[in-house]
């Protein structure tokens, strides 16, 4: 099972070409862990807890859905995501790479996506909501991809055990 605690301690993978095609697990957190994006509530029809999005959460989701069309030329797909009360998880697949070869993540596509997402949402929020940085994990194989997919899918049901849970 994927463990989110490993994401919190994540650092950029030394020597990895962040401009290359690949799959990435990205987590973007609200400053100070404030639960502003929504709340995990009850059970829907299949009996699974879900996140009831606040107005801020709805804005965040709108801009998540805008990532693919905006970065279509770079072959970017948001394959899975979840908006949690105080963070978001994205499973991003880059098919064609972003910028010319670079081992520095700040000159690659992934940080540009994160920065643009934060800029646009903050503009609509009317204030700066997000932590300055984000967490990323380079997905290296199909098994890891499937574990992360499942982790994102089940995240609302495991909210009380989540490392970002603040109550």
All structural domains of the chain with their residue ranges: 5-159
- Domain 5-159 maps to which CATH number in 1.10.10.10, 3.40.50.720, 3.40.50.10320, 3.30.70.1290? 3.30.70.1290
Share of the chain above pLDDT 90, in %: 62
Tokens of 112: 């540009």
> What is the rounded average pLDDT for all residues in the chain?
85
Q: What secondary structure does DSSP assign to 133-155, as a single string? A: --EEEEE-SHHHHHHHHHHHHHG
Q: Residues 15-74: pLDDT tens digits?
A: 777 667 889 999 999 999 999 999 999 755 566 789 999 999 999 999 999 999 999 888
* Best CA proximity match to 7, nearest among 132, 148, 160: 148
pTM beyond 0.85, yes or no? no
- pLDDT at residue 122, rounded to an integer: 98
Q: How many helices (H) and strands (E) does the chain have?
A: 4, 6
Cβ burial 131-164 (10 Å sphere, 16+ → b, else e): beebbbbbbeeeeebebbbebbeebbeebeebeb
């Amino acid at each position: 099972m994927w463990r989110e605690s490993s994401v919190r301690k994540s650092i950029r993978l030394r020597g990895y070409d962040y401009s290359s095609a690949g799959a990435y697990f990205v987590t973007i957190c609200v400053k100070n862990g404030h639960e502003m994006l929504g709340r995990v509530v009850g059970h829907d029809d299949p009996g699974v807890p879900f996140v009831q999005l606040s107005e801020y959460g709805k804005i965040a989701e709108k801009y998540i859905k805008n990532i693919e069309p905006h970065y279509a030329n770079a072959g970017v797909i948001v394959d899975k995501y979840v908006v949690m009360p105080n963070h978001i998880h994205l499973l991003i697949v880059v098919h064609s790479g972003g910028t010319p070869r670079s081992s520095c993540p700040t000159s690659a596509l992934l940080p540009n996506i994160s920065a643009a997402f934060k800029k646009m949402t903050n503009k609509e929020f009317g204030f700066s909501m997000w932590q300055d940085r984000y967490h990323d994990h380079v997905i290296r194989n199909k098994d890891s991809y499937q574990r992360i997919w499942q982790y994102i899918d089940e995240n609302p049901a495991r909210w009380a055990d989540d490392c970002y849970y603040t109550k």
